[in-house]
Amino acid sequence: METTCSPSDRRDELACKRMREAVAAWEAALGSRHVILDESERRAAESATYPTRQSIPVILRPGNRAEIQEILRIANRFQVPLYAVSTGKNWGYGSRVPSAGGCALVELHRLNRIVAFDERLAYVTVEPGVTQRQLFTFLKENGSKLWMDATGASPDCSLIGNTVERGFGHTPYGDHFANCCGLEVVLPDGEVARTGFAGWKGAHAAAVYRWGVGPSLDGLFTQSNLGIVTRMTVWLMPAPEYFQAFFFRCEERHGLGPLVDALRPLRLNGTLRSTVHIGNDYKVLSGIRQYPWEEAGGRTPLPENVMSRFRRQLQFGHWNGSGALYGTKAQVAEARRLVRGALRGNVGRLQFLDENTLRLAERFAKPYRWLTGWDLSRTLELARPVLGLMKGIPAEQTLGSVYWRKRGPIPAQPDPDRDGCGLLWYSPVAPLEGSHVERASGIATEVLTRHGFEPMISLSLVTDRAVACVVSICYDRAQAGEDGRAMACYEELGRSLTEAGYPPYRLGNMPVKGAGSDAIGEKLKRAFDPAGVLSPGRYARVD
């Protein structure tokens, strides 16, 4: 027990005493094998992909909702804080590390049941431990004709975890929080609440109608510290008759604005029903390979002449996009015509690809190159997992890019937290307008470059009117001084973008800066969690 708490003054001593008593109570409630005091396990949980100082005195692994309720009651009794994660793979946003020091970490991966499934109405109801992989396998094993939406993150990410962080994916169900309902939540005082019609005994529409009657409360439990979500219904998409992906590239650094403006009408009129993702050259290269140390002569950041050689050699543009079309053959054909028309003159190359074409291309990549001069093989290597994501197939490969600046090879079982991968994500939101997207990505490029990092940027047209710009600061935590430089860069990036009018869509374990007063947030926290035991500081606003 001594390892979990090292008091430096009397106040700390009292806190330590309370935590010790709470741990004893938790051991009695959960069984001691689910109350982890082991130092190496705690140290691992304290590691994110950027420097953090928050210590974790104990890890709790409840097996069901009743145990979570008991955990919270005990926390209130002893006035000790806790921090809940689903599977804790929130890489780039803080992993499992709490937003405040001294929190017991509550991991929910043992709650991993798919508790309901309806093929006709196209939904599943899941617990927080259910991962992307698990749902995908479940659907396959049940011969389901439904597609899930997957994020590009690890297949072992929690569906609920991603949804309550308001993550997004690649299909028409890509805005995850817009495609769920019926939350079951353990409130900080240990009470259980259910949102929408899930709160009504026997309501048939509990899993299909979102708002219920009376105030709609789902939003309260996303990006918040007002409750622990223990169940959620996730809507699924019926597999379309036909599916086609498209890939495009834009050779001009300044081509981004017109490109975004050309896509907006297709998003707004429903032709593009899913997110279009656009990545810059740095983003693409980091997806293909690790940092080219040799070509760069060991220097960082990557010199432009090296980058430009890769663009030519691997045939990608300054901006590189992908999207997908879903429907009947005729619906897709018409959408293809519209996409082609919109992108004409705005992109250097536009390529449509379906499963058949891809299989064919994989077979004939070499002769194709010989005929056309275009080397498909690299494109195909990148295309396969992206094509999968567009059909809701979780991708194993995407984790590789986190190892961009690492000197060694990517391990067979990657673990960015363990392996000292440096990754900070900052994701400002801009209106779906060329000028705004150019301005936000311009700021990011300038700040990252000045701090010695490659300005990796992807732009996701997440809704009909907005773009989430995901900016990655990718570095090697093993390099002396890099942690500090990355944090300084991150601070400036956040400040600059917020001041320019582009606050982020998500933050993880960092505080929210620049938002101004928060009358409602404070009222809510006091009302739900007067003792402040649950995830203190999470999405808290600071000046």
**Footprint of its own copies on 419-458 (CB under 8 A):** 429-433, 436
Shortest Cβ 179–its own copies spacing (Å):
10
**Whole-angstrom Cα distance, residue 332 to residue 535?**
46
Q: What does the block give as tokens for 505? A: 């869509």
Shortest Cβ 469–its own copies spacing (Å):
11
Shortest Cβ 118–its own copies spacing (Å):
9
Shortest Cβ 96–its own copies spacing (Å):
20
**Whole-angstrom Cα distance, residue 227 to residue 539?**
13
Candidates 202, 373, 409, 481: give the one binding its own copies (CB under 8 A): 202
209 binds its own copies (CB under 8 A): yes
Q: Do the beta carbons of residue 432 and residue 467 sit within 8 Å?
A: yes
495 binds its own copies (CB under 8 A): no
Q: Do the beta carbons of residue 162 and residue 151 sit within 8 Å?
A: yes
Strand boundaries in 399-486, DSSP class E = 421-426, 429-431, 456-460, 466-476
Closest to its own copies by CB, 213 vs 488, is 213
Count, residues near its own copies per rule CB under 8 A: 92
Closest to its own copies by CB, 481 vs 516, is 516
CA torsion through residues 426, 432, 436, 439, sign: positive
536: Cβ contacts below 8 Å, ≥ 6 apart = 81, 99, 100, 103, 225
169 binds its own copies (CB under 8 A): no
Candidates 400, 524, 531, 532: give the one binding its own copies (CB under 8 A): 524
Closest to its own copies by CB, 20 vs 506, is 506
Shortest Cβ 431–its own copies spacing (Å):
5
Shortest Cβ 139–its own copies spacing (Å):
16
117-to-194, 209, 232, 306, 390 alpha-carbon distances in Å: 18, 15, 12, 51, 22
Closest to its own copies by CB, 292 vs 521, is 521
192, amino acid identity:
V
**Whole-angstrom Cα distance, residue 117 to residue 130?**
13
Shortest Cβ 381–its own copies spacing (Å):
31
Closest to its own copies by CB, 50 vs 539, is 539
Candidates 51, 63, 101, 503: give the one binding its own copies (CB under 8 A): 503
Q: Please list every residue from 93 through 132 that binds its own copies, using CB under 8 A.
A: 120-123
502 binds its own copies (CB under 8 A): yes
Q: Please list every residue from 35 through 94 that binds its own copies, using CB under 8 A.
A: none
Candidates 24, 37, 44, 193: give the one binding its own copies (CB under 8 A): 193
Closest to its own copies by CB, 66 vs 121, is 121
Strand boundaries in 155-294, DSSP class E = 180-186, 192-194, 228-235, 237-238, 242-250, 277-280
Shortest Cβ 248–its own copies spacing (Å):
21
Q: Which stretch binds its own copies (CB under 8 A): 20-28, 290-298, 444-452, 526-534?
A: 526-534
Shortest Cβ 513–its own copies spacing (Å):
10
In the chain, DSSP finds a helix count (H) and a strand count (E) of 14, 21
Site string for its own copies, 372-411 (x = CB under 8 A): ----------------------------------------
Shortest Cβ 211–its own copies spacing (Å):
5
The position carrying tokens 């986190």 is: 402
Element (H, E) at 126: strand 123-126
Q: Do the beta carbons of residue 318 and residue 250 sit within 8 Å?
A: yes
Q: CB 2: neighbour CB atoms within 10 A?
A: 8
**Whole-angstrom Cα distance, residue 405 to residue 293?**
9
Q: Do the beta carbons of residue 209 and residue 260 sit within 8 Å?
A: no
543 binds its own copies (CB under 8 A): no
199 binds its own copies (CB under 8 A): yes
Instruction: Pinpoint the alpha helices (H) of 301-429.
Output: 304-314, 329-343, 355-372, 376-390
Q: Please list every residue from 211 through 250 that binds its own copies, using CB under 8 A.
A: 211-224, 226, 235, 237-238, 240
Closest to its own copies by CB, 261 vs 381, is 261
**Whole-angstrom Cα distance, residue 543 to residue 165?**
22
Site string for its own copies, 258-277 (x = CB under 8 A): ------xx--xxxx-x----
Per DSSP bridges, beta strands 228-235 and 123-126 are antiparallel
Shortest Cβ 422–its own copies spacing (Å):
23
Shortest Cβ 436–its own copies spacing (Å):
6
Q: Which residues pair with 122 in a beta bridge?
A: none
Q: Which stretch binds its own copies (CB under 8 A): 24-32, 80-88, 296-304, 459-467?
A: 459-467
Candidates 34, 65, 110, 166: give the one binding its own copies (CB under 8 A): 166
Element (H, E) at 117: strand 114-118
361 binds its own copies (CB under 8 A): no
**Whole-angstrom Cα distance, residue 473 to residue 497?**
15
Work out the angle between the directed axes of helices 281-288 and 304-314 (0-180°, nearest 10). 70
Q: Please list every residue from 312 through 351 that binds its own copies, using CB under 8 A.
A: 326-328, 330-331, 334-335, 337-338
Shortest Cβ 433–its own copies spacing (Å):
7
Shortest Cβ 536–its own copies spacing (Å):
14
Candidates 92, 161, 172, 388: give the one binding its own copies (CB under 8 A): 172
311 binds its own copies (CB under 8 A): no
Longest dimension (CA), the chain: 78
SS3 call for 507 = coil
